[in-house]
Structures are given as C-alpha cells and as structure tokens.
C-alpha cells in the first residue's frame, strides 16, 4: 500500500522471510509452467500498452519496464496474469505519493460497480529498481482484488490491519505487508539473475 519500501520491523522481517520462502517455491512452479507455455508468454511479452485490458498505462518508460520484467521474471509474469484475469482495472501512472519517502503506492479509486485501482510510481530509476517497486504494488493490488468487499479507503484500511502492519514512520497512515515485500525481493533476485545470465551468454559469444 502506501508504504515506505525502506521500513524495517523485526517481526515484519520474520514474516517477510517466511513469505519469501513460500514465494520461492511458487516462483519455481511458475517458471516450470511458464516454460511449458512459452508460445503464449511470447505473445504477452510483446504486448503494447493498449493490449492490456486490465493494466492500463500511457507512459513509455512504464511500458519499457513492463516488457523487461515480464520477459525476465516469472513472479512478475504471474502477477500480471492474476490482475489480467480479474474484473478490475489497475492504472499505472507516473507520479508522487502523498507520503514522504514513499517511492510507489496503490489506492482504490472511489467508483460504483467495477473496481478501479491506481498505482503511482517513479519510473525514472533503473529498470530493475522500477520493476521491483512495480511488482510490490502489483502484489498489493492482488491482495485488494482477492477481497471483493474492499471497495473504498475504509475497506483497504480494514484489510491491511488484518494482513499487514503500519508502513510509515512519523505517524503517517500507510500500510505494508510481508507478501508485498517478499515479492519485491524475489522479483529483484530474478531480474538480477536473469540479467547476469544474459550478460554472460553475450560475453561468451563475443558480442
């Protein structure tokens, strides 16, 4: 949610490690499934912004990061597929969050009927950094979309009091979850590993 990615909390760190272990197992399974569905994934990788009916963005840098992360991170691909299979719309916009020190945030837009979420993110950092922050917010979006009753700020706060913990210092009202932090760490590792492997293959070929 609106949470500082640099927040440290001993109990939260333990929950995050447990979540990360579970996500590693899921990541291995996702990698297997993704390999079996290589043809379908190729179509996903090459999609343009307008080809995502549920994840909407107009920013070229965000589109670039999306392609990069979908290609190289099984966990990121899984998040995209989960959101695309929902009946909600997630807008991803370049912008500043309302909380000091928060690099990305997610909010539910007040609407009647269908659910709309907005993610604000700073996309001008390195691709891996932006991708891991975006994965973090996609996980928050999935957490919200899994609860049909969460349709406004009050519902979001109730959800995160149940599954998360305060994520900002100084009395600011924002929330964090072990799942989102674990996803961010896992996507970071996948992207670093994939990028290093590609660089090594390129070096071996003499490019």
pLDDT tens, position by position, for the chain (207 residues)? 554 333 345 555 555 555 555 555 444 334 333 333 333 443 444 455 557 899 999 999 999 999 999 999 999 999 999 999 999 999 999 998 877 678 899 999 988 778 999 999 999 999 999 999 999 999 999 999 999 999 998 999 999 999 999 877 666 678 899 999 999 999 999 999 998 888 777 766 665
Q: List the one residue out of 10, 30, 11 whose CA is nearest residue 22.
A: 30
Whether 79 is in a domain gets the answer yes
pTM score of the predicted model: 0.76
Whether 113 is in a domain gets the answer yes
- Rounded distance between C-alpha atoms, residue 109 and residue 130, angstroms: 23
Domain range enclosing 88: 10-200
Q: List the one residue out of 128, 126, 123 whose CA is nearest residue 184.
A: 128
- Rounded distance between C-alpha atoms, residue 58 and residue 174, angstroms: 27
Whether 119 is in a domain gets the answer yes
Our count of domains for the chain comes to: 1
Whether 207 is in a domain gets the answer no
Which pLDDT score is estimated for 47? Answer: 53
Whether 5 is in a domain gets the answer no
Which pLDDT score is estimated for 183? Answer: 98
């Amino acid at each position: 949610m609106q949470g500082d990615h640099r927040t440290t909390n001993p109990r939260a760190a333990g929950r995050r490690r447990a979540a990360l272990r579970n996500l590693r197992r899921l990541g291995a399974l996702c990698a297997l499934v993704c390999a079996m569905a290589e043809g379908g994934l190729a179509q996903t990788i090459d999609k343009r912004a307008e080809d995502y009916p549920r994840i909407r963005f107009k920013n070229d840098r965000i589109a670039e990061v999306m392609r990069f992360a979908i290609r190289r991170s099984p966990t990121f691909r899984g998040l995209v597929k989960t959101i695309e299979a929902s009946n909600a719309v997630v807008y991803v916009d370049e912008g500043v969050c309302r909380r000091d020190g928060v690099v990305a945030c997610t909010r539910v837009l007040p609407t009647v009927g269908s659910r709309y979420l907005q993610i604000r993110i700073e996309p001008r950092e390195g691709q891996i950094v932006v991708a891991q922050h975006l994965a973090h917010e996609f996980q928050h979006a999935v957490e919200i979309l899994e609860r049909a009753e969460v349709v406004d700020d009050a519902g979001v706060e109730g959800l995160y009091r149940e599954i998360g913990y305060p994520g900002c210092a100084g009395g600011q009202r924002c929330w964090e979850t072990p799942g989102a932090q674990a996803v961010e760490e896992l996507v970071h590792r996948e992207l670093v590993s994939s990028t290093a492997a590609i660089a090594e293959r390129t070096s071996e070929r003499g490019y």
